Structure 1
Amino acid sequence: MSVRNLQHLFAPASVAIIGASARPDSVGATVLRNVIEGGFTGAIYPVNPKYDTLAGLRVYKRVSGLPAAPDLAIICTPPATVPGIVRQLGEAGTRAAIILTPGLSTMHDSGGRTLRQGALDAAKPYVLRLLGPNSVGLLVPGIGLNASFAHTGALPGKIAFVSQSGALVSGVLDWAKSRGIGFSKFISLGEGADIDFGDLLDYLASDPATSAILLYMEDVRHARKFMSAARAAARSKPTLVLKAGRVAEGARAAASHTGALAGSDDVYDAAIRRAGMLRVRGTEDLFAAVATLANARPLFGERLAIITNGGGPGVMATDAVVCGKGSMAQLAPDTVSRLDALLPAAGSRAGSLANPVDIGSDAPAQRYVDALEILLKDPQADAILFIHAPTAMVPSAGIARALAPLAKACSRNILACWLGGDAVAEARAIFTEAGIPSFGTPEEAVAAYLQIVQYRRNQNLLMQVPTAASDDGASDPQAARALVRKALAEGRPLLSEPETKAVLAAYGVAVVETRSAQSVDEAVVAAEAIGFPVALKIVSPDITHKSDSGGVALDLEDAGAVRAVALRMNKRLGELQPEARLEGFSVQTMARRPEAHELIIGVATDPVFGPVILFGQGGIAVEVTADHAVALPPLNVVLARDLISRTRVAKLLAGYRHRPAANMDAIIATLMRISHMVADLPELVELDINPLLVDSDGALALDARMRVAFADHSASTLDRLAIRPYPRELEERIDWCGESLLLRPIQPEDGPAHVAMFNSLTDDDVRYRMFVRVRELNASQLARFTQIDYDREMAFIATRPGPDGVNETLGVARVVCDPDNIAAEFAVTVRSDLKGHGLGQVLMEKLIAYCRSRGTREIVGEALPQNTRITKLARKLGFEIGKATEDGSVHMRLRL
Structure 2
Amino acid sequence: MSVRNLKCLFKPESVAVVGASNSETAIGGIVMRNLLRGDFGGPIMPVTRSAQAVQGVLAYPDIASLPLTPELAVICTPPEDVPQVVDELGARGTRAAVVGSAGMGKAEGADGRTAMDQVQDLARKYGMRILGPNSMGLMVPHMGLNASSLHLPARQGRLAFVSQSGALCASVLDWAHTHGVGFSHFMSIGEAVNTDFGDLLDYLGSDPQTNAILLYIQSVKDRRNFMSAARAAARNKPVLAIKAGRHEQASRAVYSHTGALAGSDQVYDAAFRRAGMLRVYDFEELFAAVETLGRSRRLKGDRLAIVTNGGGVGIMAADDLLGLDGRLADLSDDTMEKLNKVLPGIWSGGNPIDLIGDAPPDRYLETLKILHAAKEVDAILVMHVPVAMVDATAVAQAVINFAKEKRTAHIGTCWVGDERVRDARRLFAESNIPTLDTPDQAVRAFMHTVQYQRNQELLMETPASLATDFQPATETARSIIRDVLARGDSMLSEPEAKAVLLAYGVPTVETHIAKTPDEVERLTARMGHTVALKIMSPDIGHKSDVGGVVLDLNTPEEARQAAEKMESRLRRIFPDARLDGFSVQTMARRTGAHELIVGVSTDPIFGPVILFGQGGVAVEVIGDRAVALPPMNMTLAKEVIGRTRVSKLLEGYRGRPPADTESISRTLIQVGQLITDIPEIVELDINPLFADADGVLAIDARMRVQEAPAVATDRLAIRPYPRDLEEVFTMRNGRKVMLRPIRPEDEPNHHVFVSRLTPEDIRFRFFGLVQELPHSQMARLTQIDYDREMAFIGVSKDDEGNDETLGVVRTVTDPDNESAEFSIVIRSNLKGGGLGIRMMEKMIEYCRARGTKYMVGQVLKENQRMLKFVEHLGFKRTATIDIDIVEVTLDLQNTPTQQEPFTG
Q: Fold conserved (TM > 0.5)?
A: yes
Find 2:646's aligned residue among 645, 649, 656.
649
TM-score normalised per structure 2: 0.92
> What is the match of residue 402 of structure 1?
398
> What is the match of residue 345 of structure 2?
345
For residues 698 and 730 of structure 1, the distance between their equivalents in structure 2, rounded to whole angstroms, comes to: 34
Using the TM superposition, give the Cα deviation of residue 581 of structure 1 relative to its aligned residue in structure 2, in angstroms. 1.2
**Alpha carbons of 1:189 and 1:770: their partners in 2 closer, same or farther (altered >3 Å)?**
farther
For residues 367 and 497 of structure 2, the distance between their equivalents in structure 1, rounded to whole angstroms, comes to: 62
> What is the match of residue 453 of structure 1?
450
> What is the match of residue 481 of structure 2?
484
**Alpha carbons of 1:429 and 1:875: their partners in 2 closer, same or farther (altered >3 Å)?**
same
> What is the match of residue 664 of structure 1?
661
Find 2:634's aligned residue among 618, 633, 637.
637
Opposite residue 262 of structure 1, the aligned amino acid is A
For residues 803 and 127 of structure 1, the distance between their equivalents in structure 2, rounded to whole angstroms, comes to: 56
For residues 145 and 765 of structure 2, the distance between their equivalents in structure 1, rounded to whole angstroms, comes to: 36
For residues 295 and 803 of structure 1, the distance between their equivalents in structure 2, rounded to whole angstroms, comes to: 50
Find 1:586's aligned residue among 574, 583, 588.
583
User: 1:546-565 deviations in whole A, cap 9, x for unaligned?
Assistant: 12222222222222222222
For residues 805 and 348 of structure 1, the distance between their equivalents in structure 2, rounded to whole angstroms, comes to: 60
Using the TM superposition, give the Cα deviation of residue 77 of structure 1 relative to its aligned residue in structure 2, in angstroms. 0.9
Further displaced range: 10-19 or 527-536? 527-536
Opposite residue 571 of structure 1, the aligned amino acid is S
> What is the match of residue 615 of structure 1?
612
Find 1:816's aligned residue among 801, 808, 812.
812
Matches within 5 A, 1:62-73: 62-73=62-73
Residues 461, 783 of structure 2: 8 Å contact kept: no
Find 1:381's aligned residue among 377, 395, 407.
377
Using the TM superposition, give the Cα deviation of residue 74 of structure 1 relative to its aligned residue in structure 2, in angstroms. 0.7
- Unaligned runs of 5+ residues in structure 1 are none
**Alpha carbons of 1:782 and 1:210: their partners in 2 closer, same or farther (altered >3 Å)?**
farther
Q: Does 1:467 align with 2:459?
A: no
Secondary structure in 1 aligned to 2:713? Answer: coil
User: 1:703-728 deviations in whole A, cap 9, x for unaligned?
Assistant: 1111111113x43x432211112334
Q: Does 1:597 align with 2:594?
A: yes
Secondary structure in 2 aligned to 1:373? Answer: helix
Find 1:873's aligned residue among 869, 891, 899.
869
Using the TM superposition, give the Cα deviation of residue 240 of structure 1 relative to its aligned residue in structure 2, in angstroms. 0.7
Residues 462, 785 of structure 2: 8 Å contact kept: no
For residues 428 and 732 of structure 2, the distance between their equivalents in structure 1, rounded to whole angstroms, comes to: 59
Matches within 5 A, 1:118-133: 118-133=118-133
**Identity, % of aligned positions:** 52
Secondary structure in 1 aligned to 2:50? Answer: coil
> What is the match of residue 160 of structure 1?
160
User: 1:623-655 deviations in whole A, cap 9, x for unaligned?
Assistant: 222221211111111111111122222222222
Residues 822, 856 of structure 2: 8 Å contact kept: no
Q: Does 1:223 align with 2:218?
A: no
Find 1:727's aligned residue among 701, 722, 726.
722
User: 1:703-759 deviations in whole A, cap 9, x for unaligned?
Assistant: 1111111113x43x4322111123345455667797776654345566788789889
Further displaced range: 52-61 or 401-410? 401-410
Find 1:830's aligned residue among 808, 816, 825.
825
Opposite residue 825 of structure 2, the aligned amino acid is V
For residues 760 and 142 of structure 2, the distance between their equivalents in structure 1, rounded to whole angstroms, comes to: 36
For residues 653 and 278 of structure 1, the distance between their equivalents in structure 2, rounded to whole angstroms, comes to: 28
For residues 784 and 399 of structure 2, the distance between their equivalents in structure 1, rounded to whole angstroms, comes to: 41
Secondary structure in 2 aligned to 1:612? Answer: strand
> What is the match of residue 174 of structure 1?
174
For residues 751 and 25 of structure 2, the distance between their equivalents in structure 1, rounded to whole angstroms, comes to: 58
Matches within 5 A, 1:196-235: 196-235=196-235
Opposite residue 131 of structure 2, the aligned amino acid is L
Residues 20, 46 of structure 1: 8 Å contact kept: yes
Matches within 5 A, 1:470-869: 470-473=467-470, 475-712=472-709, 714-715=710-711, 717-731=712-726, 743-747=739-743, 785-797=781-793, 812-818=808-814, 821=817, 823-830=818-825, 841-861=837-857, 868-869=864-865
For residues 112 and 455 of structure 2, the distance between their equivalents in structure 1, rounded to whole angstroms, comes to: 46
**Alpha carbons of 1:113 and 1:231: their partners in 2 closer, same or farther (altered >3 Å)?**
same
For residues 441 and 644 of structure 1, the distance between their equivalents in structure 2, rounded to whole angstroms, comes to: 33
For residues 808 and 467 of structure 1, the distance between their equivalents in structure 2, rounded to whole angstroms, comes to: 18
Secondary structure in 2 aligned to 1:28? Answer: helix
- Total equivalences in the alignment: 889
Using the TM superposition, give the Cα deviation of residue 21 of structure 1 relative to its aligned residue in structure 2, in angstroms. 0.5
**Alpha carbons of 1:486 and 1:6: their partners in 2 closer, same or farther (altered >3 Å)?**
same
For residues 205 and 747 of structure 2, the distance between their equivalents in structure 1, rounded to whole angstroms, comes to: 20
Secondary structure in 2 aligned to 1:611? Answer: strand
> What is the match of residue 366 of structure 2?
370
Residues 235, 784 of structure 1: 8 Å contact kept: no
Opposite residue 369 of structure 1, the aligned amino acid is L
**Alpha carbons of 1:759 and 1:140: their partners in 2 closer, same or farther (altered >3 Å)?**
farther
For residues 796 and 415 of structure 2, the distance between their equivalents in structure 1, rounded to whole angstroms, comes to: 54
- Unaligned runs of 5+ residues in structure 2 are 894-904
User: 1:179-217 deviations in whole A, cap 9, x for unaligned?
Assistant: 011111111010011000000011111011111111100
Q: Does 1:359 align with 2:366?
A: no
Residues 152, 174 of structure 1: 8 Å contact kept: yes
For residues 307 and 796 of structure 2, the distance between their equivalents in structure 1, rounded to whole angstroms, comes to: 49
User: 1:510-552 deviations in whole A, cap 9, x for unaligned?
Assistant: 1111110111221111111112421211111111111222222
Further displaced range: 789-798 or 485-494? 789-798
**Alpha carbons of 1:609 and 1:249: their partners in 2 closer, same or farther (altered >3 Å)?**
closer
Opposite residue 368 of structure 2, the aligned amino acid is L
Secondary structure in 2 aligned to 1:602? Answer: strand
Using the TM superposition, give the Cα deviation of residue 771 of structure 1 relative to its aligned residue in structure 2, in angstroms. 9.0
Using the TM superposition, give the Cα deviation of residue 330 of structure 1 relative to its aligned residue in structure 2, in angstroms. 2.5
User: 1:754-782 deviations in whole A, cap 9, x for unaligned?
Assistant: 78988999999999878999999899977
For residues 325 and 703 of structure 2, the distance between their equivalents in structure 1, rounded to whole angstroms, comes to: 35
Secondary structure in 1 aligned to 2:186? Answer: strand
**Alpha carbons of 1:513 and 1:763: their partners in 2 closer, same or farther (altered >3 Å)?**
closer
Further displaced range: 524-533 or 140-149? 524-533
TM-score normalised per structure 1: 0.93
Residues 812, 822 of structure 2: 8 Å contact kept: no
Residues 761, 828 of structure 2: 8 Å contact kept: no
> What is the match of residue 48 of structure 2?
48
**Alpha carbons of 1:424 and 1:12: their partners in 2 closer, same or farther (altered >3 Å)?**
same
For residues 446 and 241 of structure 1, the distance between their equivalents in structure 2, rounded to whole angstroms, comes to: 19
Residues 863, 890 of structure 1: 8 Å contact kept: yes
For residues 250 and 356 of structure 1, the distance between their equivalents in structure 2, rounded to whole angstroms, comes to: 43
Q: Does 1:418 align with 2:376?
A: no
Residues 852, 892 of structure 2: 8 Å contact kept: no
Opposite residue 725 of structure 1, the aligned amino acid is P
